[in-house]
Structure 1
Amino acid sequence: MTKGFIKSIAAAAVLAAGLVHGAVAETLNVGAYPANPPWEFKNTDGSFEGFEVDLVNEIAKRIGYDVAIQDLGFQALFAATSSKRIDLAISTISITNERLQNQSFTQGYYDSDLALVSAKEAGITSLADMKGKPVGAISNSTGEAWIKANAEKYGFGEYKGYNAQQDLILDTQLGRVAGAVGDIAGFQFAFLKMPKMEVDERIKTGDQFAIMMTKDHPLLEKVNAAITEIKNDGTMAKLHSKWLGVDAAEGTATVTVLDIPKAQ
């Protein structure tokens, strides 16, 4: 056997290995709005981190893909999936029938509910305890809309709107309002460093966060199947505990396998 023949075999082996590697390590292109902790945010070195970042990395590992995350504005995510610039988008995107007309979604993995919160020393344990008491929310938020729609039912006292979450929480902690209503995940994340605050009652909205994909993307079923595995083996529940500081409630989308949503 000549040296030239041996070199030819070696070169062919290297080329074949490269082709196999390329087939295995296809890239899942992900779009994310990075100013959205604890779901996605950028570290000082520019790398992405967060609940949904961990989730897409886990999905990619299970389906045999690499991940490349692009920094996009929230509204740009919709155009990027439609144009196939990215395969999927994360950033606490709620499933809606309107969006399903032009995009595909995986099963939901988080119930985007509201919550009543208060200082632990305030003696508030539920919405029933808020009768006649002042309540706050972020101005023009879903929390504010819910308070106004339910003011008569619960007999809330004075309503106070805030421009920033930190101001709302501070006034609640100081007793300037007896309780606050807003996104439960935002409160849970903030309370990881605020042991004197607590979630008193979860307020169901029916909304769910999911991964958004190009309409009828060929990987939709495979990505969704990976999410099912991640729920069934407890990985999703671990992500919930890691990033929100509490266990996922029984019966929520975080621990319940769901169907792929369809447009109506």
Structure 2
Amino acid sequence: MTLEVSGWTDVGDCVSIGVIADHVNCCGCMEGSMSVAMRPCLCVVGRVVAGLAMALLVALGPALAQTHDPAPPGLRVGTFADNPPWEFREQGDLTGFDIDLMKAVAARMDVAVEFVDMPFAQLFTALAEGRIDAAICSITVTPERRQHFEFTQPYYQTSQGVAAMKRARLRSLADLAGKRVGAEAGSTNEQWLADNRARYGFGPTVTSTGLDAAMEELREGRIDAYFGDLPALLFRLLEQTDLSVMMRLPTNDQYAIALPSNSPLSSRMDAALAEIKKDGTLVAIHQRWFGMKPEPDSPVTTVLPRP
């Protein structure tokens, strides 16, 4: 903030008793060549200016303090709108479990929220570059991600799943030896495939952007199986007649809101998330999107420490 007062600028640095004192002698009078008669007058002027400066600082104190308030007037939250039931578009409007959750968190923080839609793999770059304040998109907390980003406490725990054409009749991961497998680019599903390729003999991994594209790749034979988050696969394939979730991988993934490293919003956002757990708001969101109450000891209902 810059404020001009009688030729001085920046009230925090210049208009202060210290600056005025630099031009006043030990008797409180201005030094220099002037008549003795003028000195009392200037002394009075000096005291008046000093008093005005102090009053101005007191008056502006709250306003200056507000410039350091870590709470922004609104949150820019990154997400990927092809990840049902967490986030997707319905008649053009963004909706889903994560969207409802983030709106509730923002309401507890008393700030507005703006969602920024982008491919999942770009969310972490946007966080690192400061283009968004937070990201929510069924983001799994991992040790690698924690090295570069902060997270709220988890709000959901689940597993991964394997989708394929029903006619494929997959019975185990061993049936995918040498087969082409798919996953969302930049996801923990892609990382799981890389970590377990040697163990199961998977063929090449084909990455995609969004579940719709992945399901088409299955139908067109470009991949033999798709690895994704189990709730998203079950939701997407609920009414599909040719595709099915063939296997469940008990990975116990935990989802949380991601923030830039050393974000000043981390504590407030985590506290807001804890509030909607305690007052039942998150349970209601779970019932809306999954048609049933969560387990009593799940991260949906339990206040947890931040990872």
Question: TM-score, normalized by length of structure 1?
Answer: 0.63
**Cα distance between partner residues in 1 of 2:103 and 2:196:** 37
Contact 1:52 1:90 in 2 (8 A): yes
Contact 2:156 2:256 in 1 (8 A): yes
Cα offset, 1:150, TM superposition: 9.4
Q: Which residue of 1 aligns with 2:130?
A: 84
Contact 2:282 2:300 in 1 (8 A): yes
Q: Which residue of 1 aligns with 2:88?
A: 41
**Cα distance between partner residues in 2 of 1:215 and 1:98:** 13
1:55 aligns with 2:97: no
Q: Structure 1 residues 42 and 204, CA, compared in 2 at 3 Å: closer, same or farther?
A: same
Identity %: 33
SS in structure 1 at match of 2:101: helix
Q: C-alpha offsets along residues 64-122 of structure 1, whole Å, 9 cap, x if unaligned?
A: 000111122222211221222211011121111111111111111111313589xxxxx
Greater relative contact order: 1 or 2 (C-alpha under 8 angstroms, separation 6 or more)?
1
Q: Which residue of 2 aligns with 1:28?
A: 75
Supply the AA of the counterpart residue of 2:138: T
1:107 aligns with 2:153: yes
1:139 aligns with 2:181: yes
Supply the AA of the counterpart residue of 1:207: D
Contact 2:182 2:227 in 1 (8 A): no
**Cα distance between partner residues in 1 of 2:292 and 2:238:** 9
**Cα distance between partner residues in 1 of 2:111 and 2:278:** 21
SS in structure 2 at match of 1:81: helix
248, 251, 259: which one aligns with 2:294 = 248
Supply the AA of the counterpart residue of 1:32: T
Q: Structure 1 residues 198 and 109, CA, compared in 2 at 3 Å: closer, same or farther?
A: farther
**Cα distance between partner residues in 2 of 1:181 and 1:93:** 15
Q: Which residue of 2 aligns with 1:220?
A: 266
1:70 aligns with 2:112: no
Question: TM-score, normalized by length of structure 2?
Answer: 0.55
Contact 2:151 2:306 in 1 (8 A): yes
Listed as ranges, the gaps of 5+ residues in structure 2 are 1-62, 64-68, 164-170, 184-188, 209-213, 220-225
Supply the AA of the counterpart residue of 1:51: F
SS in structure 2 at match of 1:93: coil
Q: Which residue of 1 aligns with 2:186?
A: none
Is 210-219 or 234-243 further displaced after alignment? 234-243
Q: C-alpha offsets along residues 187-208 of structure 1, whole Å, 9 cap, x if unaligned?
A: 431365479x999996531321
Q: Which has the larger radius of gyration?
A: 2
Residues matched between the structures, number: 221
